C-alpha cells in the first residue's frame, strides 16, 4: 500500500468513526456506571506533567495554560479530522465497560469529536463522543463497552472543520474501566545468557547464568551436533545489582575452534545458539551504517539498495502534504529570513533534525574513517572504502562512509546564519515540526509546518568541530568541499567566541526534543581541538590548552561522551590524530585515555554481565546502550594506542552485552541475534502499528534500559524494575526503545573496530622500525626521507610500506621506491634491486610532496607488509 493510500484510508476511517460509535453526544449512557475505582487508562490527563505524551496535528503549538492543554486551529479546515489532539497506547479490553470524561472549551466555539480508534491502518473506530464546545466549560462523560481488544488504541480529539479560527482547551481527560495491565513478565528465555551473534576465536568468551545455586555449576560447550567440546565450572557472583538476579559466570575463552551453532549448557539448560568465527561481525559494519541511508531526509530511498520495503519518496521537499525543508522560516520573533535546510538525517523516531545530535553522530562516522589511518588492525580502511556500503554514491572513488557523512555535513552547513544577519556565523539549533505528530507517519506524509529554532552556541561549536574534521578528511577527494568546511568552521568558531553563552531553551520541546545544554566549555574544547588538528594554528592550540577541560578527567563512568558531553571526543582525537603537539603533552593526553580505559575495564570486571558500565540505576539512562558502546570505544582506542590486548578484549566483551548477554537475554540490534529488538520507536519504521510499514532495518540499535522510565508506556508497564529490566521492545516506549543517529553512529564505530579484529589472536611484536623525516617544507610542498630497518629474525623478501597523510598532502615524485597514492593513503613498494632486507639491515627511500593547506605532521602509523613498525 502506498503512503498516499494509507493517508486516504486514515481519513476515511476517521470520518467513519461516528458511524461506528456506540453512543454519541446527548445520548444516555447505554451501560452501567463504571466503578469509581476502575483503572485509569489515560496518562497525564490533568496535564500536571506538561504536554507529554499528548501530540497534535493540523494545529498550532500545544501548551499548558492554567492547567488546561490548549492549542489553536487555523480557519478554514474542511473536515473534523484535519486537526486533532491525541494520545497513543490506550489499553482497551473487549467487552469491558469504560467511562470517557473530559472538560472542554472553545473560542469562539465549534464542534469536537472524541474518538477512540485503532491507532494505525485501517483506523477502525471503537467509540465517538460528539460535543458542541463553546466559551463556557463543558464537562463530558460517556460510558460504553469496548467492542474489541486493543492494548494500544488511540484517543483523538478531532477539532477541525471550522470556518473560523478556533482556540481549543482540554482538561481532566479520563478513561476509566477495563482492567489494569497485568504484571509484565518479560520472556527471558533460557537462563544461560550469551552473545547470540558469536565470539572471535582468539577473543574473550564469557556467559552469565541466572540460577538460585550458590555453589559452582558444571558447564558444557556443545557443538551443533551435540558433542561436548569443552567443559568446566562456573563462578558464583551473587546477586547482580543491575538485574536483581542471582547469577554465575562462565569463561570459555580457552576454546578457540571456529564453528557454527554452538550452545553453552549449564545445569541442564542450553543457551541460544552462537558461532565462533573471525567473521562474525563482518556484516555488522555495513548494516549499522545503512541505518543512516534509511534515515536520510530530502531524497528518495532506493529499495534496490536496502530492501524494497524501505523504498519511499524524498521527505520534506515541499511536495504536498509536506510544507518542506527547502524554504523554512524561523519561529516567530527569531529571524527575518528563510533557509533551505534540506537533507541531513532524521534524528530519531521523529522527523526533527538537530545540530548537536547530528554533530556527534557525524563526528563518529568521520572518526571511524580517520581511525583507519592510525590503527594497525584497520587494514588501511579497506572495510570502509568505496563500494563497501549500500549508498547511492558508491563507485565515485570516495570512501562510502565519507559519502554518508557528507549527507549530514551538507545539512549542518545549511543551518549556519547567513552573513549580514544578526548572529551571522552562528548555527540554528534545530529544525522540526511545529507540533508533535503521531505514529506511524512516513516523512513524505508529514503535514506539519517546519520551523527553524534559535541559534545556539552549542550548535555553532558542533558545526565548527565537524566542519574542521571535514576540512582535513575530504581534502584528498574534494578540495573545494574541504575548503568550504574549513571556512565554515573558522566562521562558526569565531561567532561562538563572540556569543559564548547563547543556550538552547530547555522548554523548547514541542514538536521535537529540546536538546538543551547549559555548559558549553566542552564544546569549545572540542572545536578548538579539531581546528588545531586541521590547521595547526597556534591560536587554536592556545585555546585548547587554556581550556579547563584539557587537564580535567573528561571520561565519565556512566558514559565517556555523548551529545551533551563532548570533551572526551576532543581528548581522543588529540591522542590519535597526527599533530605537532609537543611529545610530552601528547604522552600525557594518551595516558589519560589509557587511565580511563583501565577504569572501564575495572567496571567491566565488576559486572556479572561483563559490560563497562556501573551497575547503579543512575547508569541506566535514556540511550544507555550508546553509553556502553562509547565506553567500549575508549577501550578500543586504548588498544589502538598501546597494542595491549586487554583493551581490545574489553571492547570485544562489551559487545556481548548488546547481543544477548544481558538480563533480558536479547540482542538490542535489529536482525542480529537469535532474539532481537524489532519494534523500536519510529514514525518511519512502524510495523507494529501498521503492517504496511517495515520494521527498522537490520543494524538498528535500540536505546536500551532506562531506569527513569520517561514515557507513559514504560512507566505503567515496568514500574519497580531493576535497571537492566527497564526496557521493553514496544514502539510506544520511546524512552527505552527509540532509534537515534547518535546511538547508531556509536554502533557503527564499534562494529568497524570489531570487524577489523579478525580472529583476535595474540598481538604480534613489531619486526620493523621506521624513521620518517621531513627534511624540508615550503608553502606548497615538502621533501621526506623514510628509513626502514628489519628488526626481525628473518629476511624480508619484497616490501610494501603504507601510511596515511593527515589531509591534502600528495606525493609528486619518489626515489628508491615505487610509490602510489589513493586518497590520503600512500603505499611505497620496493624496486627490484632493494626488495630484500636482511635482519638488522636498512633501506632508505624518499619522496617529494605537495600540499595546499594545513599542517604536515608525521604519520602516526607506518606498516610493513600490513604489520605495524616501531617509529624511530
Active site residues: 350, 681, 729, 738
Q: Under a CB-based contact definition with an 8 Å cutoff, are residues 416 and 467 in contact?
A: no
In the chain, count H helices and then E strands.
Answer: 17, 39
Please name the residue ranges forming H helices in 695-829. Answer: 712-717, 734-737, 741-756
Q: Under a CB-based contact definition with an 8 Å cutoff, are residues 491 and 503 in contact?
A: no
Dist. CA 516–CA 646, nearest whole Å: 37
CB atoms within 10 A of CB 320: 10
Q: DSSP string spanning 672-683?
A: SSSSB----B-S
* Residue 563 CA: distances (Å) to CA of 355, 402, 492, 523, 693: 10, 21, 18, 10, 30
Q: Under a CB-based contact definition with an 8 Å cutoff, are residues 79 and 112 in contact?
A: no
By DSSP bridging, strand 218-222 and strand 110-118 are unpaired
Q: Under a CB-based contact definition with an 8 Å cutoff, are residues 541 and 606 in contact?
A: no
* Residue 222 CA: distances (Å) to CA of 228, 265, 660, 667, 757: 4, 7, 18, 22, 25
First to last CA, the chain: 64
Helix (H, G, I), strand (E, B) or coil at 95: coil
Q: DSSP string spanning 490-502?
A: HHHHHHHHHSTT-
Of 857, 841, 850, 787, nearest in space to 816 by CA: 787
* Residue 218 CA: distances (Å) to CA of 233, 257, 268: 5, 21, 9
Residues contacting residue 656 through CB under 8 Å, at least 6 positions apart? 194, 195, 199, 206, 610, 611
Helix (H, G, I), strand (E, B) or coil at 811: strand
By DSSP bridging, strand 455-456 and strand 427-428 are antiparallel
DSSP single-letter state for residue 327:
S
Dist. CA 725–CA 707, nearest whole Å: 8
Residues 339, 340, 343, CA angle at the centre, nearest 5°? 135
Q: Under a CB-based contact definition with an 8 Å cutoff, are residues 404 and 292 in contact?
A: yes
Dist. CA 348–CA 358, nearest whole Å: 10
The strand order across the sheet containing 192-193 reads 192-193, 206-210, 246-251, 235-239
* Residue 589 CA: distances (Å) to CA of 149, 550, 571, 650, 783: 59, 9, 7, 21, 29
Amino acid at each position: 500500500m502506498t503512503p498516499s493510500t494509507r493517508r486516504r484510508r486514515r481519513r476515511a476511517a476517521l470520518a467513519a468513526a461516528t458511524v461506528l460509535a456506540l453512543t454519541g453526544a446527548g445520548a444516555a449512557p447505554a451501560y452501567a456506571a463504571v466503578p469509581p475505582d476502575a483503572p485509569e487508562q489515560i496518562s497525564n490527563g490533568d496535564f500536571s506533567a506538561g504536554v507529554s505524551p499528548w501530540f497534535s496535528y493540523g494545529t498550532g503549538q500545544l501548551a499548558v495554560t492554567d492547567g488546561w492543554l490548549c492549542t489553536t486551529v487555523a480557519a478554514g479546515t474542511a473536515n473534523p479530522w484535519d486537526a486533532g489532539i491525541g494520545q497513543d497506547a490506550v489499553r482497551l479490553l473487549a467487552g469491558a465497560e469504560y467511562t470517557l470524561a473530559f472538560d472542554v472549551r472553545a473560542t469562539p466555539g465549534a464542534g469536537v469529536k472524541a474518538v477512540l480508534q485503532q491507532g494505525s491502518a485501517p483506523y477502525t473506530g471503537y467509540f465517538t463522543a460528539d460535543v458542541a464546545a463553546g466559551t463556557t466549560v463543558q464537562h463530558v462523560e460517556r460510558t460504553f463497552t469496548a467492542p474489541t481488544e486493543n492494548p494500544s488504541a488511540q484517543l483523538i480529539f478531532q477539532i477541525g472543520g471550522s470556518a473560523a479560527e478556533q482556540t481549543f482547551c482540554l482538561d481532566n481527560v479520563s478513561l476509566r474501566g477495563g482492567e489494569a495491565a497485568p504484571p509484565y513478565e518479560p520472556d527471558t528465555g533460557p537462563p544461560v545468557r550469551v552473545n547470540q551473534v558469536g565470539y572471535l576465536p582468539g577473543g574473550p568468551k564469557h556467559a552469565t547464568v541466572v540460577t538460585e545455586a550458590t555453589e559452582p555449576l558444571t558447564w558444557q560447550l556443545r557443538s551443533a551436533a551435540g558433542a561436548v567440546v569443552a567443559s568446566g565450572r562456573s563462578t558464583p557472583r551473587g546477586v547482580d545489582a543491575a538485574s536483581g538476579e542471582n547469577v554465575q559466570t562462565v569463561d570459555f575463552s580457552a576454546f578457540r575452534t571456529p564453528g557454527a551453532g554452538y550452545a553453552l549448557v549449564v545445569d541442564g539448560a542450553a543457551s541460544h545458539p552462537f558461532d565462533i568465527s573471525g567473521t562474525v561481525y563482518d556484516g555488522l559494519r555495513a548494516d549499522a551504517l545503512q541505518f543512516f541511508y534509511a534515515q536520510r531526509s530530502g531524497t528518495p530511498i532506493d529499495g534496490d539498495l536496502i530492501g524494497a520495503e524501505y523504498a519511499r519518496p524524498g521527505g520534506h521537499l515541499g511536495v504536498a502534504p509536506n510544507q518542506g525543508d527547502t524554504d523554512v522560516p524561523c519561529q516567530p520573533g527569531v529571524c527575518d529570513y528563510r533557509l533551505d535546510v534540506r537533507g541531513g538525517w532524521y534524528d530519531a523516531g521523529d522527523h526533527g533534525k538537530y545540530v548537536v545530535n547530528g554533530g556527534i553522530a557525524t563526528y563518529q562516522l568521520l572518526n571511524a574513517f580517520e581511525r583507519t589511518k592510525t590503527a594497525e588492525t584497520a587494514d588501511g580502511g579497506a572495510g570502509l572504502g568505496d563500494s563497501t556500503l549500500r549508498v547511492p554514491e558508491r563507485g565515485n572513488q570516495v570512501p562510502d562512509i565519507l559519502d554518508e557523512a557528507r549527507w549530514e555535513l551538507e545539512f549542518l552547513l545549511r543551518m549556519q546564519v547567513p552573513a549580514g544577519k544578526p548572529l551571522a556565523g552562528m548555527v540554528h539549533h534545530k529544525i522540526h515540526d511545529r507540533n508533535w505528530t503521531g505514529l506511524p507517519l512516513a516523512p513524505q506524509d508529514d503535514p506539519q509546518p517546519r520551523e527553524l529554532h534559535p541559534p545556539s552556541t552549542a550548535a555553532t561549536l558542533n558545526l565548527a568541530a565537524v566542519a574542521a574534521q571535514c576540512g582535513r578528511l575530504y581534502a584528498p577527494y574534494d578540495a573545494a568541499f574541504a575548503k568550504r568546511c574549513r571556512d565554515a568552521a573558522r566562521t562558526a568558531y569565531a561567532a561562538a567566541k563572540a556569543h559564548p553563552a547563547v543556550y538552547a531553551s530547555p522548554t523548547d520541546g514541542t514538536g521535537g526534543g529540546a536538546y538543551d545544554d547549559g555548559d558549553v566549555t566542552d564544546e569549545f574544547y572540542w572545536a578548538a581541538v579539531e581546528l588545531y588538528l586541521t590547521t595547526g594554528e597556534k591560536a587554536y592550540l592556545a585555546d585548547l590548552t587554556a581550556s579547563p577541560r584539557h587537564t580535567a578527567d573528561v571520561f565519565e563512568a556512566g558514559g565517556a561522551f555523548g551529545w551533551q558531553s563532548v570533551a572526551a571526543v576532543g581528548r581522543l582525537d588529540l591522542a590519535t590524530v597526527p599533530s605537532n603537539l609537543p611529545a610530552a603533552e601528547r604522552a600525557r593526553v594518551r595516558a589519560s585515555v589509557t587511565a580511563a580505559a583501565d577504569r572501564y575495564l575495572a567496571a567491566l570486571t565488576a559486572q556479572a554481565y561483563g559490560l563497562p558500565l556501573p551497575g547503579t540505576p543512575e547508569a541506566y539512562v535514556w540511550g544507555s546502550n550508546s553509553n556502553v558502546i562509547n565506553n567500549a570505544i575508549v577501550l578500543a582506542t586504548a588498544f589502538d594506542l598501546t597494542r595491549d590486548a586487554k583493551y581490545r578484549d574489553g571492547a570485544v566483551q562489551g559487545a556481548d552485552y548488546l547481543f544477548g548477554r544481558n538480563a533480558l537475554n536479547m540482542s538490542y540490534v535489529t536482525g542480529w541475534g537469535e532474539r532481537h529488538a524489532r519494534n523500536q520507536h519510529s514514525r518511519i519504521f512502524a510495523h507494529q502499528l501498521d503492517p504496511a510499514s517495515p520494521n527498522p532495518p537490520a543494524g538498528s540499535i535500540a536505546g536500551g534500559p532506562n531506569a527513569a522510565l520517561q514515557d507513559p508506556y514504560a512507566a505503567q508497564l515496568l514500574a519497580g524494575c531493576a535497571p537492566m529490566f527497564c526496557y521493553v521492545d514496544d514502539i510506544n516506549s520511546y524512552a527505552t526503545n527509540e532509534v537515534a543517529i547518535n546511538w547508531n553512529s556509536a554502533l557503527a564505530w564499534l562494529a568497524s573496530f570489531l570487524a577489523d579484529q579478525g580472529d583476535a589472536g595474540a598481538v604480534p611484536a613489531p619486526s620493523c622500525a621506521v624513521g620518517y623525516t621531513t627534511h624540508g617544507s615550503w608553502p606548497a610542498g615538502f621533501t621526506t626521507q623514510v628509513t626502514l630497518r628489519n628488526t626481525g629474525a628473518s629476511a624480508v623478501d619484497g616490501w610494501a610500506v603504507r601510511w596515511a597523510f593527515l589531509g591534502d598532502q600528495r606525493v609528486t615524485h619518489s626515489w628508491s621506491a615505487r610509490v602510489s597514492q589513493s586518497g590520503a593513503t600512500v603505499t611505497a613498494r620496493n624496486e627490484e634491486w632493494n626488495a630484500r632486507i636482511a635482519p638488522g639491515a636498512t633501506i632508505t627511500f624518499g619522496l617529494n610532496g605537495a600540499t595546499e593547506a594545513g599542517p604536515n605532521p608525521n604519520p602516526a602509523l607506518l606498516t610493513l607488509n600490513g604489520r605495524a613498525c616501531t617509529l624511530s
